[in-house]
Chains A and B, each alone.
Chain A
């Protein structure tokens, strides 16, 4: 993913877009923050938020034409939030902190503002705060321009003068009773000689007689660039009601003009670009999505005394109607996104930047995403954290900088499944061709090998023309780990196995394999096992009670409607009642295994699983072995569809106990041996009986979390007993020993128990001890 591709991706996330009210407001008052403060009864803070954007809060709150309310998302449902009335309440009820001028570094440049209306005074206010010397000229005798025409009731004189007092504090000089023009007191040419820039806020005045020397529009108004407010003469800017239609004057647009002119004038004097990065100026559309589906209607609150306005309590109640618009559709559903407490777009940016950082602090963030693509499915614009994380993993691997601890275990696991211990490709016994071949996948084989054997027998019985068998790993672990090359090799050997069997149609027992084949090996025709069972008909099923089962769909087949429907149909045929989880089918979530998050961040993976299994009290029905094992490992009763068809090892329909990493390894090896023996009549080699280990459930759980296999502990004990390199605790007689078969050093605390070894502790580390006495391999 290059920078351009990343920018295209991040732009799809609308979470950082302004809410509709703020976007519609020409000066972008942070309405959400203001109302949030009100909800906390903090009128002072609410006032400060308003005053942050509104230079003359008293005047603006009274006269604003509040476009925010027209665009409020509630306007489509019941009634807009009464933002304007709430602003007025802030002014009335909020203790007004003095306007903080901050540290003003005075500049030598000076600016003239002609016209003491709201746009000119806004420009003057902000420019003075930037340290410019301000001179304000007006033909009248006070600040305010057309504002003085408002009645005392609408705009009390005290509010007017109170707001404008700040200009004196900022040392802005005012000259009243002066007119601009060829025959007036001042001329534009004269101003330009004395000042570095000029702002014209001339109101609705006729300007053609003033001989300003500026280009005019057909309607005899000054031609003003809508973006910069520049006129035809460099250094002269104009705005305010002068460029508004006579029948639609907007105070807040004039304030916005004053702000825009301030930016232009500052840039003009500094010699900077007038046009660069001005996209946030003025009202604009917003793409921010907010789900209002579950919002109950609640009309706006009318003040008990309309003349007085909202009381404090009324204001708080009205502010509570604000939906605090935000998207967060993906975050709401995803434990991973929630866990990192960073908005998705920002998290994506950090992960993208992480690739090139000296210290890559976001490695763990990058490696903990389940790549389940729920974010992509729920986002209207297909923003995909999975895509960002996956591309970043590939990039880091290419640089040789992937932390070895992130996915090392999974790649070892894959190597094991791809070794002769498990892989197999055979035609049906007694045949030389295969119309179909069953590919159960490594996880189903590791979780419930007898179900694979029974399924294979069922398929041979139901399908004519030869059903071969292919055992192996589809390579998804390498793909998830960002190991493009290893994944490509895995796909190549899959293709070779398939070609070796004469290109049969493959029957896939695992949804992840299904996704891998469909996406990466499109030339191979595939069927998902349960879609086929639906068509072929169920075998005879052991007796069992009818259960209500909540279906957890697999994330890797979230878009496969046929698979989802077949599973539900089969559950019905098996006599069970299907319950739908809130996030199902296309919007399903991860079980905690996807993207290898369980390997790279076991703690978070547990949280993901716990959240998912907490979504319903009912037992779950799943059709991926990893989902089954993951849920079972977290204490949830979850049935794989094959548990409900073939039952447990004894043939009973019952919940199976958890299965750990070591057991899955052993099961794969045993499955191959059993099939060779039972189906093809070949006796497998007798393996020497391994060292017997006694492991408590507590130590077993620890081993799962720290990715320690029984085989690793057997290596430790074998090495220690062979060489005598071990330590002993004098108090309890326990031995401590270590062994480093490859990259990881494993430790066991053990004692001899009968004809086996009791494990009292098991741990491992990747830091290597390089002193001679500790070389334990």
Chain B
């Protein structure tokens, strides 16, 4: 399995706030699922409502690699 890089996962998350809960995001566990597989990832998310932040570099980077690796199984 491809390892997701920290700099991709966290990116500029510390600059973000949840617009609804008006609190800064914190790093916490988020669950990804795809084609029958689930796995936890640490991402910035809202400590109140749970809304997670997926940075662009992560979506275009290792998330895509993970997606392709899972699709080939």
Nearest chain A CB to B24 CB, angstrom units? 8
B18 interface neighbour in A360, A727, A745, A767, Cβ under 8 Å: A727
- Contact partner of A773 (CB less than 8 A), chosen from B16, B19, B52, B68, is B52
Distance, CA A731 to CA B12, complexed state (A): 10
A412 to chain B, nearest CB (A): 17
| Binary A-proximity of B8-28 (CB < 8 A = 1, otherwise 0) | 000010011111100001000
Whether A765 contacts B71 in the complex (CB less than 8 A), given A724-B19, A724-B20, comes out as: no
Q: Which of B12, B50, B72 contacts A360 (CB 8 A)?
A: B72
Q: How far is the CA of A38 from the CA of B46 in the complex (A)?
A: 68
- What does the 1/0 interface line of B31-68 toward A look like (CB < 8 Å)? 11111001000000110011111101001100110111
- Asked whether any CB of chain B lies closer than 8 Å to the CB of A728, the reply is yes
Residues in chain B near residue A736, CB distance under 8 A = 16, 53
Asked whether, in the complex, the Cβ of A763 is within 8 Å of the Cβ of B15, the reply is no
Chain A interface, DSSP helix/strand/loop, else mixed: mixed
Would you list which residues of chain A between 712 and 731 have a CB under 8 Å from chain B? 724-731
Report if B73 contacts A (CB, 8 A).
yes
Across the interface, do A771 and B31 meet the contact criterion of CB distance under 8 Å? yes
Known A727-B25, A774-B50; judge A363-B71 contact (CB<8 A).
yes
Q: Which residues of B contact A725 (CB under 8 A)?
A: 20, 49, 51
Q: Is A761 part of the contact surface with B, judged by Cβ < 8 Å?
A: yes
CA distance A764 to B55 in the complex (A): 10
A724, A731, A768, A771: the one within 8 Å of B50 (CB): A771
Once the chains bind, are A773 and B17 in contact (CB under 8 Å)?
no
| Cβ-Cβ contact count across A and B, 8 Å cutoff | 102
Give chain A nearest CB distance to B20 CB in angstroms.
5
Would B50 and A363 count as touching, CB distance under 8 A?
no
A residues near B72, Cβ cutoff 8 Å: 359-361, 363, 403
Residues 723-750 of A contacting B (Cβ, < 8 Å)? 724-731, 735-736, 738, 745, 747, 749
Partner of B30, one of A731, A747, A771: A771
In the complex, how many angstroms separate the beta carbon of A752 from the nearest chain B beta carbon? 13
* Neighbour of A730 across the interface among B15, B56, B67, CB < 8 A: B15
Q: Within 8 Å CB of A726, what residues of B?
A: 19-20
Give, as a whole number of angstroms, the nearest-CB distance from B54 to chain A. 6
> Are A735 and B19 CB-contacts (below 8 A) given A767-B63, A769-B31, A769-B54?
yes
The reply to whether B32 and A768 form a contact with Cβ atoms under 8 Å apart is yes
Tell me which residues across on chain B come within 8 A of A403, comparing CB atoms: 68, 71-72
A539 on interface, CB distance cutoff 8 Å: no
Q: Is the CB of A769 within 8 A of B71?
A: no
Query: Which residue of chain B lies nearest to A760 when distances are taken between CB atoms in the complex?
Result: B56
Q: How far is the CA of A403 from the CA of B73 in the complex (A)?
A: 9
Query: Are the C-beta atoms of B67 and A769 separated by less than 8 Å?
Result: no
Report if A773-B50 is in contact (Cβ < 8 Å); known contacts: A405-B71, A725-B20: yes
Q: Does A766 contact B (CB under 8 A)?
A: yes
Q: What's the least CB distance linking A360 to chain B, in Å?
A: 5
Contacts of A774 in B (CB 8 A): 30, 45, 50-52
Q: For the complex, what is the distance from the CA of A361 to the CA of B71, rounded to whole Å?
A: 10
Q: Point out the residues of chain B lying under 8 angstroms from A404, CB to CB.
A: 35, 71
When A363-B72, A766-B67, A773-B46 are in contact, do A727 and B51 touch as well, CB less than 8 Å?
yes
On chain A, the residues within 8 Å of B64 by CB distance are 765
Residues of A within 8 A of B19 (CB): 724, 726-728, 735
Nearest first, the 4 A-B pairs at minimum CB distance are A773-B50, A403-B71, A763-B59, A765-B59
Given contacts A767-B33, A771-B50, 14 further A-B contacts (CB under 8 A): A359-B72, A403-B68, A406-B71, A724-B20, A727-B18, A727-B53, A729-B15, A747-B59, A761-B56, A765-B59, A767-B66, A768-B33, A769-B32, A769-B33
- A residues apposed to B, CB below 8 Å: 358-361, 363-364, 403-406, 706, 724-731, 735-736, 738, 745, 747, 749, 761, 763-774
